[in-house]
Amino acid sequence: MNEIKVTPWEVKGNINYEKLIKEFGTEEVNDTLLKRIEKYTGELHFMLRRKVFFSHRDMHWLLDEYEKGNKFVIYTGRGPSGDMHIGHIVPLIFTKWLQEKFNAELYFQITDDEKFLFSKKENQTIEDVNKLAHDNLLDIIALGFKPKKTKIFIDTEYAKTLYKEAIKVAKHLTFSTAKATFGFTNESNVGQIFFTSMQSVPAFLPTIQKGKMTPVLIPCAVDQDPHFRITRDIASKLGYPKPAAIHSIFIPGLQHGGKMSTSEPNSTIFLKDTPKQVKDKINKQAFSGGRDTIEEHRRLGGNPDIDVSFQLLRIIFEPDDQKLQKIYDDYKSGKMLSGELKQICIEKINAFLEKHQEKREKAKDSIHDFLISD
Ligand code: TRP
């Protein structure tokens, strides 16, 4: 059965993103919105041009406020469930661009509490997850956010501030709403039911900490939208502005599409992978849109739209539209073979990872420019 399921903790099936817009009740990122964004940024990030960010809530309101001189704060986050992979950084690369173009402050939440509460590994302790949070922190810093404009916090280490606000959210959230939104059952642990309150708080913190109505923009993968539907409902009840959001698609798993996932290491490119691991995974695992024989491929051409290596180039690793188009055309016509396409993809990924891993090392010296606690 081709069941599609998208919740913050589970993504299954081949996702139809247009259908998701209807199901979630969000708006499509269309050319009118893109033109409006371009007016302020001077150019469009390739993830916008290619509709990798395809859905949003209230972007027009956010830009209305921006026009009036009411600058927005960006809020995003990371759930430290393990080593980070290339799928996790799609929203973060875009967030960095937004921060630069709008000279915006960034609040970055790392939810060690969440990943502890939702962990399926019975003996994983909160200390284990907290350690992962500190390790992921290095990858996050390595992406290049502005130190003076970025606050990163780990939930259990910023708990005094967060908890005080989270209980206000929780007071307005019933079990039946949480159940309907996330599919909890009577067997779900009560921490899971409470957790979404913690993820709402950073959407309100700018207004609380600045003492004035401050718009917030949340760039995130679309599976996080259920949390922020609740956040937006409760915002009105607590007297805060509803956060705007802009949603990305998922990076497909190498073997099967859907969503790249830490739990399937053969289908995933981790930020810590070596050049050899990347080469082997792409060559052996990445689903190909090529034909069975070279002769057939030359004659009939390949299918870039279902080829995972091509999709990785499109979504994250080849920002140049002209270069991407040429690869698309050559592959489709049969001029380029699958092995050649994979080779381009491997080189691009390895060039990115080499730099990233250097920056990750350097990040160890600047933790204190970013991490806050209370
Ligand atoms: N729940 C998210 C995850 O599992 C982490 C997160 C917290 C987040 N706050 C966020 C993601 C805001 C995007 C935006 O990855």
Any domain includes 367: no
Q: What is d(CA 268, CA 286) in angstroms, rounded to the nearest whole number? A: 9
**Among the listed residues 157, 198, 143, 97, the one whose alpha carbon sits nearest the alpha carbon of residue 352:** 143
Instruction: Name the residue with the closest Cα to ligand 1, atom 9.
Output: 77
Which range of residues forms the domain containing residue 344?
265-361
Any domain includes 271: yes
Segment (H or E) for 321:
helix 321-333
Please tell me whether residues 31 and 143 are part of one structural domain: yes
Q: Which of 202, 222, 254 lies at the terminal end of a domain, its last residue?
A: 254
State the greatest distance between any 2 C-alpha atoms of the chain, in Å, as a whole number: 68
**Among the listed residues 29, 152, 139, 145, the one whose alpha carbon sits nearest the alpha carbon of residue 95:** 145
C-beta separation of 83 from 271 below 8 A: yes
Q: What is d(CA 62, CA 68) in angstroms, rounded to the nearest whole number? A: 10
Cβ of 89 closer than 6 Å to ligand 1, yes or no, is no
Return the half-sphere exposure (C-beta side, CA atoms, 13 A cut-off) of residue 266. Answer: 6
Any domain includes 371: no
Encoded amino acid at 182, one letter = F
Please give the full DSSP string across 255-280, using - where no structure is assigned: TTBS---TT-GGG--BTT--HHHHHH
Q: Tens place of pLDDT for every residue, the chain, 374 residues?
A: 456 677 888 877 778 899 999 999 999 999 999 999 999 999 999 999 999 999 999 999 999 999 999 999 999 999 999 999 999 999 999 999 999 999 999 999 999 999 999 999 989 999 999 999 999 999 999 999 999 999 999 999 999 999 999 999 999 999 999 999 999 999 999 999 999 999 999 999 999 999 999 999 999 999 999 999 999 999 999 999 999 999 999 999 999 778 898 889 999 999 999 999 999 999 999 999 999 999 999 999 999 999 999 999 999 999 999 999 999 999 999 999 999 999 999 999 999 999 999 999 999 999 999 999 99
Instruction: Name the residue with the closest Cα to ligand 1, atom 15.
Output: 79
- Cite the DSSP H helix spans in 190-320: 190-210, 225-238, 275-285, 294-300, 308-312
Query: What CATH number has the domain bearing residue 279?
Result: 1.10.240.10
Cβ of 55 closer than 6 Å to ligand 1, yes or no, is no
Sequence-separated contacts (24+) of 273-281 with Cβ below 8 Å: 273/353, 275/350, 275/353, 275/354, 278/346, 278/349, 278/350, 278/353, 279/346, 279/350, 281/254
* Contacts of 258 by beta carbon, 8 Å cutoff, 6+ apart: 11, 12, 13, 14, 15, 250, 252
- C-alpha of residue 54 to centroid of ligand 1, in Å: 18
Please tell me whether residues 26 and 68 are part of one structural domain: yes
Q: Per the structure, how many domains does the chain have?
A: 2
Cβ of 261 closer than 6 Å to ligand 1, yes or no, is no
Q: What is d(CA 156, CA 134) in angstroms, rounded to the nearest whole number? A: 12
Burial class (CB in 10 A: 0-12, 13-18, 19+), 308: buried
Cβ of 79 closer than 6 Å to ligand 1, yes or no, is yes
- C-alpha of residue 108 to centroid of ligand 1, in Å: 9
Please tell me whether residues 89 and 38 are part of one structural domain: yes
Residue 64: count of CB within 10 angstroms of its CB? 13
Cβ of 77 closer than 6 Å to ligand 1, yes or no, is yes
Segment (H or E) for 6:
strand 5-7
Query: What CATH number has the domain bearing residue 205?
Result: 3.40.50.620
Any domain includes 369: no
Locate the ligand 1 atom nearest the alpha carbon of residue 9 and give its number: 4
Reduced to 3 DSSP states, what percent helix, strand and coil does the chain have, rounded to the nearest 5?
55, 10, 30
Cβ of 109 closer than 6 Å to ligand 1, yes or no, is yes
